Structure 1
Amino acid sequence: MGNQKVIVIGAGISGLAAVYYMKQNLPEAHITLLEASDRIGGKIKTVRRDGFVIECGPEGYMARKPTLTNLIKDIGLGDQLVHSGTGTYYIYVNHRLRQMPKGSVMGIPTKMLPMVTTGLVSPLGKLRAALDLLIPRVYQDKDISLKEFFERRLGSELVTNMIEPLLSGIYNGDLADMSLEATLPQFAAIEKKHRSLILGMKSIQPPKQAGTSKKSAGRFLSLSCGLDVLVEKLASYADEIRLKTPVDHVEPGKVTLSDGTVLNADSIILATSPKQLGPLLDFPEAWSLSNDKRTTTATVALAFKKEEVEQLDGTGYVVSRKEGLNITACSFMNHKWSYTAPEDCALIRTYVGTAEDAAIVEESDEAIEEKALADLRKISKLGTPLFSVITRQIDNMPQYTVNHNQRVQAFEDALGKINGVYACGALLHGVGLPDCVDNAMHVAEEAAGQLKENEDAATNS
């Protein structure tokens, strides 16, 4: 078993998790990790400066998805796990910050009183949303966009002022493109079962437990040592890591590098950015995923002395598109994660660039910082930052457009016919860190199982 060669292409979280799970399944295999850029980690990047811990990419992950938490404990980082702080979440709409109405989930109302009194939606918009209680089913087992689904159920005002800012914060996409089945299948299921979203959401809200404290742990987890420590720990399971090593083509048993070198392997796992799938595999279903829509964004982290920042209760806010600002959301990082800033300082992270307009991301760091600050100052008082860290994600945020699941299924069916070549990544089964890790785990198990089978067949022949 000792001489089996595995090549993993792409050193983001998916590729790194694939390396780890491959080692767990086949401790004797020799695993080579290839990465086109000059660093490992992909979108995960942690910057430490003057006592600040700044996550430039993902800042954490949803606590209710167990795979990543289990992985973190297995590699000995369990004592670094931290729950996010909780607090009010706001939406900036009609030129002011307004609280998310209590009892709304993803902008869908489950309690009537807060919905009736909120300034987020006009009286007419509220009446239109209430029609959800009467309207027949919109989803008919055929994928549609989130925009069509939510507008037909709840009306366009609620979508523009509540649902869209929240969802584009998560997926950084345009609701008119985004697939209901691939991004929020639970809402299709709720509608199927209860017909009305409002009634359906009400029925799944857990009852308040008697005697529990108001201040519960946040819904997100992260590592107080910084997520890059997770990246380095996972990378240590590879036998060999080659940076600045772009790949040109992949076929069963061999990987051709851009410089023409050919590497042989018994098993190959692709965990590359979506745009590489087509060029590397060169079959129609792979090209179809590579040609899918992606977006470009930039993250702007701003460090302040605490007295320079107007203290808002809460963890952050999202911005409605119709406000015409450059920023789409803002997180008060030191409220959410106390370890991210020194005691007397504050760390604010804001985002620029939308699916419709990413031009700002191409501008200089100075220009981006200036525009972001100007927008933040329209919303609350801010002094002069100590420094800023700007991170661009160019053309690599996958968008799950309508019929995404069908395209992924077609791709995986076609890939299944190619011996010893596998794929995982944010493009396929979820963009969050736990989703990527989960996908990598299943793919590694499948690849390792196939290698063991080949080995047994060779031994018995």
Structure 2
Amino acid sequence: MHEADTRTDRPGGPGAPAAPHGHVVVIGGGIAGLAAAHRLLADGVRVTLLEAGPRLGGKLRSGELAGAPVDLGAESVLARRPEAVGLARAVGLGDALQPPATATAHLWTRGALRPMPRGHVMGVPGDPAPLAASGVLSPEGLARIGAERDLPPAEIGEDVAVGAFVAARLGHEVVDRLVEPLLGGVYAGDAYRISLRAAVPQLFAAARTHALLGDAVRDVQRRAARQPQAAGPVFAGIDGGIGRLPAAVADACRAAGARILLDTPARELVRTAAGGWRVVAGGEAIDADGVILATPAGPAARLLAALAPAAAAELDGVSYASMALVTMAFRTADLPASVTGGGASGFLVPPVDGRTIKASTFSSNKWAWAGADPDLFLLRTSVGRHGDEKDLGRDDADLVDVSLADLGEAVGLAARPVARAVTRWDAGLPQYPVGHLDRVARIRASVAALPGLAVCGALYDGVGIPACIASAGLAADAVTAAIGTPGSDH
């Protein structure tokens, strides 16, 4: 996996970028498109970025509620990967990075809030003792984990669904009450469809060399503990919200000479007779030496239909999950101690329990910046996942009401919010079913036949922010290699 270059002579650092050489159009203004533009500019490439909508940032979005800053999309980055923290530092947000004030999460399952057991890899347990103490599984479910030693050695093949493999080795309770809510928090997906090879590659690799899944989990944990970054925080946020990152990257890109156009969907992409590219967007034809598609699958497929029909067909097969975030502000004095006391960061909800909400984050506990006003408490819930989107048909007021009803049962919350915002992410998260990585390889092989063209974004190398930035770096490097930059051999 590509690691982000964090040199200080990248745009936003103290050094100046190289003189412009070549022109690349980046289509898509989410964090992947912005990161690609940032990388290209640092390599001395002139950039035009086109965003079809009225705002930049994609699933990273900041806002304000009752006068307090809030994240209305993604709220944290995986800090043990270098790409997102490196980009934040490069655009002047290094001092704003901060770990969670608390990481004490719970599961709302089997009628109670239960501590999230330690000693697991994406919900797959390596040590059953913390799991037994948590009360998350029934005695029968715990016994089923121990029965793995009586099974024949695990055979995993070239890929397998996380849920199917874990259930076969450790039982369905582990999947339904641990793996499902954790994977759902990342993909808003169904563990029984999500690819183990794509979603948890370290565990997939270990499971191919161990007879028991429990041994594979412990192997992954030992390897992780030996990594240099293991002592640091797992996650990080940004003071004021992760939603600040896209704006900071865009500002750095503009300062380096990028042209950024909003409300400008790309309508046509053609190869010119001279071997360059022409993008038709916003009533003009933009000529370029290279193009990066940093869009979801649908727009990318439409632009590639005539140029790379094999890639377009594969992109048409990618499915997406929709979800909604319900962000609410309360008077702190109106909330029970189960929310404001004890430093809990929130809870996840296994779908098997039949609740409407899939998770709740106690933002004012989790992030120091969100708890800056002691009289105001921010929290949010999420609703919807792939294959379970019926509640998204409710209007905003209904989503608030059903969230409050579930919060009332879970933590005794009886207050009404003083302010609320509902953010809907329709077709927001690409799904990674079995075979997804092979699909990505076929897309990239088809696109690679067209020099100067590359793709990046959440559907290729992971849905997390660092993975999207890494994907953008790969695309930018491929395009600069194809078009030639100062100091290259082209």
| TM-score (normalised: structure 1) | 0.92
Letter of the structure 1 residue corresponding to residue 346 of structure 2: G
Q: Which residue of 1 aligns with 2:314?
A: 288
Q: Residue 324 of structure 1 is aligned with which of 354, 360, 380?
A: 354
Q: Which residue of 1 aligns with 2:16?
A: none
Once residues 456 and 156 of structure 1 are traced to their aligned partners in structure 2, the CA distance between those partners, rounded to angstroms, is: 54
Once residues 228 and 116 of structure 1 are traced to their aligned partners in structure 2, the CA distance between those partners, rounded to angstroms, is: 38
| Per-residue CA distance 1:62-88 (angstroms, 9 max, x = gap) | 110012211221222111110112343
- Is residue 381 of structure 1 aligned with residue 424 of structure 2? no
Once residues 351 and 141 of structure 1 are traced to their aligned partners in structure 2, the CA distance between those partners, rounded to angstroms, is: 34
| Per-residue CA distance 1:312-360 (angstroms, 9 max, x = gap) | 3321111121221110011111111021142222111110012122132
Cα offset, 1:259, TM superposition: 5.9
Secondary structure at 2:359's aligned position in 1? strand
Letter of the structure 2 residue corresponding to residue 444 of structure 1: A
Cα offset, 1:453, TM superposition: 6.2
Once residues 456 and 97 of structure 1 are traced to their aligned partners in structure 2, the CA distance between those partners, rounded to angstroms, is: 58
Q: Percent identity?
A: 31
Cα offset, 1:22, TM superposition: 0.2
- Is residue 13 of structure 1 aligned with residue 31 of structure 2? yes
Q: Residue 226 of structure 1 is aligned with which of 222, 241, 259?
A: 241
| Per-residue CA distance 1:415-459 (angstroms, 9 max, x = gap) | 00012111110010011000011111121122122222699788x
Once residues 268 and 395 of structure 1 are traced to their aligned partners in structure 2, the CA distance between those partners, rounded to angstroms, is: 24
Q: Which residue of 2 aligns with 1:212?
A: none
Contact preservation (8 Å) 2:80, 2:232? no
Cα offset, 1:149, TM superposition: 0.9
Contact preservation (8 Å) 2:70, 2:240? no
Once residues 210 and 66 of structure 2 are traced to their aligned partners in structure 1, the CA distance between those partners, rounded to angstroms, is: 53
Cα offset, 1:51, TM superposition: 4.0
Letter of the structure 2 residue corresponding to residue 101 of structure 1: P
Runs of 4+ displaced beyond 4 Å: 453-458
Contact preservation (8 Å) 2:154, 2:210? no
Cα offset, 1:203, TM superposition: 4.3
Q: Which residue of 2 aligns with 1:257?
A: 280
Q: Which residue of 1 aligns with 2:345?
A: 315
Cα offset, 1:129, TM superposition: 1.4
- Is residue 365 of structure 1 aligned with residue 396 of structure 2? yes
- Is residue 304 of structure 1 aligned with residue 330 of structure 2? yes
Q: Kindly tell me: are residues 307 and 30 of structure 1, through their superposed partners in 2, closer, same or farther at Cα, counting changes over 3 Å?
A: same
Q: Could you say what the CA RMSD is over the residues aligned between the two structures, in angstroms?
A: 2.3
Cα offset, 1:118, TM superposition: 3.6
Q: Which residue of 1 aligns with 2:302?
A: 279
Cα offset, 1:284, TM superposition: 2.3
Q: Kindly tell me: are residues 430 and 141 of structure 1, through their superposed partners in 2, closer, same or farther at Cα, counting changes over 3 Å?
A: same
Secondary structure at 2:159's aligned position in 1? coil
Contact preservation (8 Å) 2:24, 2:47? yes
Letter of the structure 2 residue corresponding to residue 363 of structure 1: R
Contact preservation (8 Å) 1:88, 1:315? yes
Secondary structure at 1:39's aligned position in 2? coil
Secondary structure at 2:484's aligned position in 1? helix
Secondary structure at 1:448's aligned position in 2? helix
Letter of the structure 2 residue corresponding to residue 281 of structure 1: L
Q: Which residue of 2 aligns with 1:88?
A: 104
5 Å-filtered alignment, 1:161-310, equals: 161-205=177-221, 218-236=233-251, 237-238=253-254, 239-252=258-271, 253-257=276-280, 261-282=284-305, 283-310=309-336
Contact preservation (8 Å) 1:84, 1:219? no
Cα offset, 1:406, TM superposition: 0.4
Letter of the structure 1 residue corresponding to residue 375 of structure 2: D
Contact preservation (8 Å) 1:251, 1:421? no
Q: Residue 91 of structure 2 is aligned with which of 58, 75, 78?
A: 75
| Per-residue CA distance 1:352-388 (angstroms, 9 max, x = gap) | 0121221322322111111111111111122111111
Cα offset, 1:195, TM superposition: 2.2
Q: Kindly tell me: are residues 195 and 311 of structure 1, through their superposed partners in 2, closer, same or farther at Cα, counting changes over 3 Å?
A: farther
Once residues 307 and 321 of structure 1 are traced to their aligned partners in structure 2, the CA distance between those partners, rounded to angstroms, is: 31
Contact preservation (8 Å) 2:188, 2:386? yes
Once residues 92 and 310 of structure 2 are traced to their aligned partners in structure 1, the CA distance between those partners, rounded to angstroms, is: 42
Q: Which residue of 1 aligns with 2:433?
A: 401
Once residues 64 and 397 of structure 1 are traced to their aligned partners in structure 2, the CA distance between those partners, rounded to angstroms, is: 22
Once residues 285 and 254 of structure 1 are traced to their aligned partners in structure 2, the CA distance between those partners, rounded to angstroms, is: 18
Q: Kindly tell me: are residues 284 and 430 of structure 1, through their superposed partners in 2, closer, same or farther at Cα, counting changes over 3 Å?
A: same
Once residues 203 and 450 of structure 1 are traced to their aligned partners in structure 2, the CA distance between those partners, rounded to angstroms, is: 40
Q: Which residue of 2 aligns with 1:414?
A: 446
Once residues 54 and 453 of structure 1 are traced to their aligned partners in structure 2, the CA distance between those partners, rounded to angstroms, is: 40
Once residues 98 and 275 of structure 1 are traced to their aligned partners in structure 2, the CA distance between those partners, rounded to angstroms, is: 40
Q: Which residue of 2 aligns with 1:50?
A: 66
5 Å-filtered alignment, 1:27-38, equals: 29-38=45-54
Q: Kindly tell me: are residues 437 and 102 of structure 1, through their superposed partners in 2, closer, same or farther at Cα, counting changes over 3 Å?
A: closer
Once residues 73 and 131 of structure 2 are traced to their aligned partners in structure 1, the CA distance between those partners, rounded to angstroms, is: 34
Q: Kindly tell me: are residues 89 and 3 of structure 1, through their superposed partners in 2, closer, same or farther at Cα, counting changes over 3 Å?
A: closer
Cα offset, 1:192, TM superposition: 2.0
Once residues 128 and 352 of structure 2 are traced to their aligned partners in structure 1, the CA distance between those partners, rounded to angstroms, is: 25
Q: Which residue of 2 aligns with 1:213?
A: none
Letter of the structure 2 residue corresponding to residue 249 of structure 1: E
| TM-score (normalised: structure 2) | 0.86
Q: Which residue of 2 aligns with 1:62?
A: 78
Per mean C-alpha deviation after superposition, the further-off stretch among 365-374 and 6-15 is 365-374
Secondary structure at 1:194's aligned position in 2? coil
